[in-house]
Structure 1
Amino acid sequence: MTKDDMSTAIEPGPRVASPAGPGGARRDPRRRTLALVLLGCLLLPPLGLAAGWRYLRGVRRWPVERDAARVELATARLWAGYAVSLGILLGLVAFVALVFLADDHAVYRTFFDASVLRPNLRYLAAGFWINVKLFLVGEVVILVWSTLVAVVRELPGPAAGPLRAVAIVYTDVFRGMPVLLVLLIVGLGLPRTGLPVVSHFDDFQAALVALTLSYGAYISEVIRAGIHSVHWSQDAAARSLGLSHLQSMRLVVLPQAIRHTVPPLLNGFISLQKDTALVSVLGILDAVNRAQATSSYAASLSPYAGVALFYLVITVPLTRLTDHLERRNRRRRLARS
C-alpha cells in the first residue's frame, strides 16, 4: 500500500452535526421549559405569565446569544416551578377550607367542637401526662437495655457464643411480634403466673416492661449498625493501647456509634411516643382511654382530635429536630470527604 493510499484510508469522514446544534452535547431546554411554563400558567397565572415572559425572551435570544438565552430559560423554569408548587399548595388549602365549610361546618362540629373540648381539656391533659411519663422513662430504659443487647451481640470469641445466641433469639422474637400483642401478654399474662416480682407489676410497670422488650429489639439493631459504622481501626488502636474489648467499646466505639445513630434513634423514640397510646388496652387511664370515655359521654369525636393535637405537639418538634440532625451529619460527612 502506497503512502497516498494510507492517507486516504485513515482520512476521517464527514462530521455529523450534533442534534443539540451549536450548543454542543447539551440538550435544547426550550421544550421542557415551555411545558413547565404552561403548567404554571394553569395553576397560578400571575407567576406563570411572568415565567412565560422570561421564556419568550430566552426563545428570542436563542439563535444569537445562546448563553444568555439559557439564563433566561433557567429563570423561567424557576418562576414556573414556584407557580406550580404554590398553585398546588393553594389548591390544597382551598380544598381543606371547603371540607371544613361543607354541610354547615359538619367537620368542625364533629372533631373540633370547643364546647366539648374546653371543659374536658384538663382531664385529657392529665391522661396525656401518663403517656409522656411512660415515654420519658421508657426512652431511658430502652436506650440502656438496647445498648446492652447490642454489645452482647458484638462480643468476640467462641466463649461468648451462647450469650450472642440469646441476644439473637431475643431480637428475632420481639422484632417479629406486634407491640400490642406484647402488651397483652405482659400486662394480662404475667399477673396470672404467680411468679415473684413480675406478677405484682401494676399496669404502668407492665406497660413499661412490654414497651422495653419490643422497642429494645429494634433499637439494639440501630445501635449495632452504629457500632459497625465505626472503622475497625478505632477498636484496633484502643486494643493496642492495652484496653480490653469492653473498655474499647465503652470508651472509643460506643460514643462514636451513638453519635452516628442519633437521627434513627430519634425516629424510634417518635414511634415509641405514638405507641404509648396502645397501653389503653391494659386499662390505664391514659389520654386515649380518657378520650374514649369523654367521647361516649359527650356523643362527640372532639376528644379524640384533642388528644391527637397533644401528640402532634410532641412529635412534630422531634421530627424537625431529627431532620436537622440528619442534615448536620450529612454536612459533616461531606466536609470530611
Structure 2
Amino acid sequence: MTSPLVDAAWQPSPLELSRRALRRRATTRSVLLALLSTLIVTAVLVAVVANTPGWTVVRETFFDPKIGLASVGPIFQGLLVNLLVLVIAAVCVALLGTLLAVLRSLRGPVFFPLRLLAAAYTDFFRGVPLLIVLYLVGFGIPALMIFPRMPAMFWGTIALVISYSAYVAEVLRAGMEAVHPSQRVAARSLGLTHGQTLRIVVIPQGVRKVVPALMNDFVSMQKDVGLISVLGAVDAVRAAQLQVAETFNFTPYIVAGLFFVILSWPMIRLTDIVTARLNRREQAGGIV
C-alpha cells in the first residue's frame, strides 16, 4: 500500500493534463456543434411551416393563446383523474402481471391447465387493441347487470389492467427465464421450496433484467390512460373535447397533449438513465 503522504502529494503528469484539456475542448466543440445544428434545423422547420399557405388558419385553430389559457384549469382537473387511474392501474398491473408470469413459469404436468389459461390470457389481450377492450369492458360488462352501477373511471381502470397485465406478464416471464437454471438448482439444494425459489431468487433477478422494458410499458400506459375518455370519464382528453365544443377551436387538444408530455417526460428520461446505467454495468462485467 502507498502511504497517505504519497497519495496526497500525487499530481497528474503534464501528458495527462493535456489529455484532459483535449477531452474538454472536444466536449465543448461537440456541444456547440450540436446546439448550432439544432438551431439551424429548428429555424428551417419554422420558416417552412410559417410560409405554408394554410399556416394562418392552422395557427388560429390550433394555437390560440387566449383559448389555451382559458382551458388550462378544466383540463388540469381532468388530468387529476388520469393520474388517479394511472396509479391504481399501475399497482394492479404489477400484481396481476406477476401472477400471470408465475403461472406461466410453473413446471410439471399438473399445472398445465394453469399455464394454458395464463398463455391464452396473454395471447388474447396482447392481440386485442386497447380501445376494443375499453368498449368491451366499459359497455359490455355493465350490460350484464350483475354489478352495481359503477363510474366510467372504474371500468376504464379495469380495462387498462386487463390489457397491460398481459404485456407486463410476458416481460416478467422473459426476465425470469433469463435467470440461469443453476440459480434455481442452487436454491433448491439449500432447501428452498419452489415458491421460495421464485420469491427470493428468480423474481428479483428477473425483474432486474427487464427494468427498462417495464418502465417503457409504464410510459406507454401513461399515454393510453387518456383513452378512458371514450367511456365518458371526464379526464384531460374529455375536458379538452368539451372545451373544443364550446369554442370551436382545437387549441385545448394541444394543451391536453402538452400535459401528457409533461406527465410522461420524467419517466422517459429516467428510463434512458436506468437503461444506460444497466448497459454500463453489463459492459463492465457487473451483475445485471
The residue number in structure 2 matching 1:243 is 192
Distance 1:240 1:139 in 2: 36
Q: Which of 206, 212, 217 is residue 263 of structure 1 equivalent to?
A: 212
Distance 1:124 1:136 in 2: 19
SS at match of 2:284: helix
The residue number in structure 2 matching 1:190 is 141
Change (3 A) 1:80 1:182: closer
The residue number in structure 1 matching 2:110 is 159
Q: Is residue 100–residue 108 contact of structure 1 (8 Å, CA) maintained in 2?
A: no
The residue number in structure 2 matching 1:66 is none
The residue number in structure 1 matching 2:284 is 335
Q: Which of 320, 323, 332 is residue 269 of structure 2 equivalent to?
A: 320
Report the AA paired with residue 235 of structure 2: D
Distance 1:132 1:108 in 2: 30
Residue 334 (structure 1) shift: 1.3
TM-score of the pair, normalised by structure 2: 0.83
Distance 2:141 2:279 in 1: 45
Per mean C-alpha deviation after superposition, the further-off stretch among 283-292 and 96-105 is 96-105
Higher relative contact order (CA 8 A, sep 6+): 2
Equivalence map 1:1-337=2 (5 Å):
88-98=37-47, 101-102=50-51, 106-195=57-146, 197=147, 200-336=149-285
Change (3 A) 1:132 1:92: same
Residue 82 (structure 1) shift: 7.7
Residue 96 (structure 1) shift: 3.5
Runs of at least 5 residues in structure 1 that lack an aligned partner in the other structure: 1-74
TM-score of the pair, normalised by structure 1: 0.72
Per mean C-alpha deviation after superposition, the further-off stretch among 283-292 and 199-208 is 199-208
Q: Is residue 191–residue 200 contact of structure 1 (8 Å, CA) maintained in 2?
A: yes
| Cα deviation 1:235-273 (Å, max 9, x = unaligned) | 111111111111110111111111211111010011111
Residue 107 (structure 1) shift: 4.3
Figure out how many residues of one structure are paired with residues of the other and give that number.
Answer: 259
Distance 2:212 2:249 in 1: 38
Distance 2:31 2:151 in 1: 57
Distance 1:96 1:320 in 2: 25
Alignment RMSD, CA only?
Answer: 2.4
Runs of at least 5 residues in structure 2 that lack an aligned partner in the other structure: 1-24
Change (3 A) 1:159 1:126: same
Distance 1:165 1:253 in 2: 21
Q: Share of identical aligned residues, percent?
A: 39
| Cα deviation 1:52-81 (Å, max 9, x = unaligned) | xxxxxxxxxxxxxxxxxxxxxxx99xx799
